Amino acid sequence: MGCRLRLVTRSPCGSCRSSRPASPGNNTGGFEAYRAGKSALNQLVRSFTARHADDPRTLLLMSAGWVPTALSGPDAPLAVDQSILGLADAIESQPGKGGLHYLDRHGRPVAW
């Protein structure tokens, strides 16, 4: 998975990478094993957040966009460096918001 979930005591913000195909609102079918793994990540982070409801830190699930990987193939339209820059900007805009947020690489909310 693309997540290294850990509580960083000095940081007000943490993030994990997720994807839109794992979102319950996506009804296109296909890639079931991939979607199951990402859905498990989403549920893990949601449960973790519920268990630590009194924690003021911000937790983020991030959708990086479709980038070329061994799994996605070379036809993905977004370069990895473009995705990383967008994710970094989105993460930097979130400290202090508290709670769990599912965002795309532009910092826009993604439907659960």
Residue 81 within a domain: yes
Cα–Cα distance measured from residue 72 to residue 30, given in angstroms and rounded to the nearest whole number: 13
> Which residue range(s) make up the domain with 29?
13-104
CA dihedral over 42, 12, 88, 69, signed as positive or negative:
negative
**Residue 3, in any domain of the structure:** no
Q: What is the total count of domains within the chain?
A: 1
Q: Can you give the CATH number for the domain in which 95 is found? A: 3.40.50.720
Asked if the structure places residue 110 within a domain, the reply is no
5 is a domain residue: no
Task: List per-residue pLDDT tens for the chain, 112 residues long.
Answer: 444 444 444 455 565 665 555 555 667 777 788 888 888 888 888 999 999 999 998 989 888 888 888 878 888 899 999 999 999 899 889 888 999 999 999 999 988 7
| pTM, two decimal places | 0.72
Dmax (CA) of the chain: 43
